Structure 1
Amino acid sequence: MSIEFLITSLIIVVSPGTGALYTIATGLSQGFRKSVIAAFGCTLGIVPHLAAAIAGLAAILHTSAVVFEAFKYAGVAYLLYMAWNTLREHGTLKVDDTRSGSTSAAKITGTAILINVLNPKLSIFFLAFLPQFVPVDATNSLPHMLELSAVFMAMTFVVFAIYGAFAAAVRDHVISRPKVLTWMRRSFAAAFVGLGFQLAKTNN
């Protein structure tokens, strides 16, 4: 496994995106344990894209404008839905004043998975990214693809869990200050809208 792959993957993982944003918001609103669950769900949400890239299904998404647009705007709609729920205090930043938080682990996991599943850029990314690091003389590329995918997913989980830990560490300071919480809720909603706008501009 090349150092280039590790560095490139780390840059991609640490870059702010919907998964990182959701994990941070969960850490702020639900605490560290739930943020780890969110990080795990976001990591699981990568699996369908990896499977599509390995199976070559991502090529269909890349070449079919209709499929890509439908998939893309489903993701945009979901991001706008999350922004709306965040502003209404029913979504990502619905803060519970207990240590454990009120949102179930299953719901957090499901939301995190859906966030990454509805991101067509991941499929396109893995279609173009992973094959570059498979040895050209490899008789069977599948083991190499699986190894690279596993490393990328492990890196995603660790980085997102760290994001969640930092967010959970300042949770008490946030929930004890209503004005700060209101500002952060609006900021997260705006971030979801901004990410949705960026996704809407994506071309296949």
Structure 2
Amino acid sequence: MLTYDVALSFFGIAVLLALAPGPDNLFVLMQSAMWGRRSGMLVVLGLCTGLIGHTLAVAVGLAAVFAASEAAFTALKLAGAIYLLYLAWGAFHAQGADAAGNEKPLRQGKAQLYRRGIVMNLTNPKVSLFFLAFLPQFTSPERGSVAVQTASLGALFMLATLLVFGLIAWFSGTLGQRMRRAQTAQRLLNRVAGAVFLGLAVRLALSNR
């Protein structure tokens, strides 16, 4: 089992890592700004669920496959890049909110937005590699099952992500609602979102292990 000191230090580091600019929090920021806080929170929940997969991959040794196999790493990152390109296309063609700045009915259902977060997270092999390098530093066979400790660390990381990304979704959704009251600002927001997704796609496609 994790000790209090280990859990607290890990959680603090996880919060700092969640605050650092990266693909996932940029993704949450733009989704919330475009479609509102509800949409952003659904994406956040999906991203956190995706972390379960990465945690399990480390616990059972699957993450090591992506560290050792160039083909597996490339296949997964290209799948993620293609998905981000699809999102970029959608952002460039987005209708957004109405003229009063109110959220339109979700073009994707709640389940679809939730799955969007899961896919975004699971198709980034660098998250698995990061977990593979990061989580074992806080485990020790002397404290019992390493797999249980790894699962506990993954849960703490998900909690930190939920808190930080949830705040990002809330504030960016509020700012986006104000911007959507002006049609010019709304169009600019959609273009910026598309550019961000496009940039993330290129970054992921060109990334190395």
What TM-score, normalized to structure 2? 0.87
The corresponding residue for 1:7 is: 12
Using the alignment, how far apart are the partners of 2:147 and 2:157 within structure 1? Answer: 15
The secondary structure found in structure 2 opposite 1:137 is helix
Aligned AA (1:27):
S
- Give the root-mean-square deviation of aligned CA atoms: 1.8
Distance 2:105 2:165 in 1: 19
Identity %: 29
CA contact (8 A) 2:96 2:103 kept: no
Confirm or deny that 1:166 pairs with 2:171. Answer: yes
Alignment correspondent of 2:113: 108
Q: Which amino acid aligns with 2:177?
A: D
Q: For residues 140-173 of structure 1, what are the alpha-carbon distances to aligned partners after superposition, in whole Å with 9 as ceiling and x for unaligned?
A: 2122111111110011111111011102222332
Please give the TM-score of this superposition, normalised by the length of structure 1: 0.89
Q: Tell me, what secondary structure is at the counterpart of 2:53?
A: helix
5+ residue gaps, structure 1: none
Unaligned runs of 5+ in 2: none
1:64-102 alpha-carbon deviations (Å, 9 max, x no partner): 11111111111111111211211122xxxx413344632
1:44-193 matches, cutoff 5 A: 44-89=49-94, 94-97=95-98, 98-99=102-103, 101-103=105-107, 104-135=109-140, 137-193=142-198
Take 2:193 and 2:176, find their aligned partners in 1: how far apart are those partners?
15
Aligned residues: 200
C-alpha distance after superposition, 1:15-55 (max 9, x if no partner):
23333233223322332223222211111111111111111
| Partner AA of 1:159 in structure 2 | V
**Which of 193, 197, 200 pairs up with 1:195?**
200
